[in-house]
Amino acid sequence: MEDISILIPIYNRSKWLPLIVLNLKQQDYPHDKLHVYIDDDSDTDLLFKSPEELEEIKRILHPIKLTYIINKNKRSIGKKRNELIRACNTKIFCMMDSDDIYHSTYISHSYNLLKENNLGCVGSDKMVFCMTDKDFALHAIDCGNRAVMIHEACIMATKKWFKASCKFGNNSMGEGKNLFFGHENKVGITDIMKVMCCVQWAGNTIDKLQFCKEENKLDLEISDEYKKILIKILEL
Residue 145 has pLDDT above 60, yes or no: no
pTM of the full structure = 0.95
100 burial via Cβ count (<10 Å: 0-12, 13-18, 19+): buried
Q: Catalogue the E-assigned strands of the chain.
A: 4-10, 34-40, 65-70, 92-95, 100-102, 121-123, 126-131, 137-142, 156-158, 187-189, 196-200
Give the number of other Cβ atoms within 10 Å of residue 176's Cβ: 24
List pLDDT tens digits, range 58-93. 999 999 999 999 999 999 999 999 999 999 999 999
Mean pLDDT of 120-127: 94
pLDDT of residue 228: 96
* Structural domains of the chain in order of their starting residue, each with its CATH number: 4-234 (3.90.550.10)
Whether pLDDT at 147 is above 70: no
| pLDDT given for residue 231 in this prediction | 96
Give 223's DSSP letter: -
Q: Determine the average pLDDT of the residues in 34-57.
A: 96
3 state DSSP class of 14:
helix
Starting at the edge strand found earlier in the chain, the sheet holding 126-131 runs 100-102, 196-200, 126-131, 137-142
Task: Report the candidate in 106, 118, 120 with the shortest Cα–Cα distance to residue 194.
Answer: 106
Is residue 27 a contact partner of residue 116, using CB atoms and an 8 Å limit?
A: no
Q: How confident is the model at residue 140 (pLDDT cuts 50, 70, 90)?
A: very high
**Per-residue buried b or exposed e for 106-117, using 16+ beta carbons within 10 Å of the residue's own CB:** bbbbbbebbeee
